[in-house]
Structure 1
Amino acid sequence: MARLIYIHDPMCSWCYAFTQSWTKLQETLPANIPIINIVGGLASDTTEPMPLHTREMVQQAWKRIEQTIPGISFNWDFWAYNTPYRSTYLACRAVLAAKKQRHTSEVEMIRAIQTAYYQKAKNPSLPETLQECAREIGLDETQFARDLTSVEIDSELHKEIQSARDLGVNSYPSLRLQHNNNLHMITIDYRDHRTMLQQINSIIQGL
């Protein structure tokens, strides 16, 4: 009858900012509403270093998040010790590769990537960082490395990107509630999960 779809990117700073509110929403969501995760693919593959104007844009987002969302902080050493790339597809594939190996590892990989990136100042655009994340959450590293570059996982990524587009999503994070064959946009609230819960309950109850 209903399902909640979360469209995200593991390297999206606003998705990281949403972590606390999203976790509380999941904890209070009615048990009969399944959650579907979709990786939207924020930035395609590239080996070109991130342009200066893009670095400044991302850094401004980090500053805004720290100033407006309690409890969220970033390790700014990332910018001093890494060559950033405007590429998130590999990290998205890592989430799908983890899910393929063990369904519960999808969320574990998302958290591991965010921790590596935002707290440990490591670069999740690089396969070695993602391999370390796989090791930390107890995946078979050989299988993970194989799946990360496989045609199967790449195909799955592009299917999920298309699914996000079909849902009308153009920014991350996004929530969509499917109920009685209708699709509803749930307004993201980074500070209070209760506003989203109230919106979901109102839709289900037909209010």
Structure 2
Amino acid sequence: MIKTPDNPTLLYITNPMCGWCYGFTPVIRRMRALWQGRLTVKVLMGPLQAYATEPLTPDAKDKLAVSWHRVQDRTSVPFDYRFFTRRGFVYNTEPACRALLCVRLLRPKLTLEVLRAMHSAFFADLKDLRNPAVLAELVRPFGISENLFMTLFESEEIIQQMEEEFNYVESIGADNFPSVFLQTTHGMAYLTKGYTDLNELEQRMLRELEMKV
């Protein structure tokens, strides 16, 4: 077994409405399971289309559809392409990100599980993750009461914290989602910018760990 630095952490930069993140979250969950007790996984939200105000254009829809098909071809996760019949859809991901931030504060150990549920709800079940009521319904099975969730979700503090997290993600150079960093007492290293499979991700992490012991 490889000797590892104390308390290595994987920073998983993601977004609940990111197609490639939808395909990649199972990889992160398997990595966490394989390295249970030796590795911490922390989920951070990236500002993909956060605060968008304009509806998707036909050209943007076409590009998005191509991307979704590529994700499905590579990872086999299901998509409901009836999404593209929606008119006037504003792809604002901030509410979904803020909801996941609430989950990370209230039930940190369940963050990846809720992220997986949000991905499936949006991409496979056509749930509107911009709607606070839909978000409250999604987190309820994870033991988070609607009143508690909505109080935190609508607070000025959490809105500000979300903005600060977006700024932090941008400051470390995570401009592509998903992205993964390895953080140790020796610093932080980029493991992947975009999708990669479990074996490749683990090999990259092992190389970094071996250089730091």
Deviation larger for 93-102 or 77-86: 77-86
Distance 1:141 1:176 in 2: 33
Q: TM-score if structure 2 supplies the norm length?
A: 0.86
Whether the aligned pair in 1 keeps the contact of 2:23 and 2:75 (CA below 8 Å) is no
Aligned to 1:137: 142
Residue-pair matches, total: 206
Q: TM-score if structure 1 supplies the norm length?
A: 0.88
Aligned to 2:67: 61
Distance 1:76 1:187, change over 3 A: same
Cα deviation, 1:5-29, whole Å, max 9, x if unaligned, reads 1111111111001123222222223
Query: Which of 163, 169, 186 lines up with 2:191 in the alignment?
Result: 186
Cα deviation, 1:46-71, whole Å, max 9, x if unaligned, reads 4543222222221111112122x142
Pair 1:20-2:22 in alignment: no
Q: Could you tell me how far 1:203 is from its partner in structure 2?
A: 1.4
Q: Could you tell me how far 1:181 is from its partner in structure 2?
A: 2.6
**Pairing of 1:147-162 with structure 2 (within 5 A):** 147-162=152-167
Aligned to 1:75: 80
Query: Which of 149, 172, 184 lines up with 1:167 in the alignment?
Result: 172
Q: Indicate the SS of the match to 1:36.
A: strand
Cα deviation, 1:70-117, whole Å, max 9, x if unaligned, reads 422201123335752221010000001122222233223212211210
Identity over the aligned pairs, expressed in percent?
Answer: 25
Gaps of 5+ in 2: 1-5
Distance 1:171 1:76, change over 3 A: same
Q: Indicate the SS of the match to 2:190.
A: strand
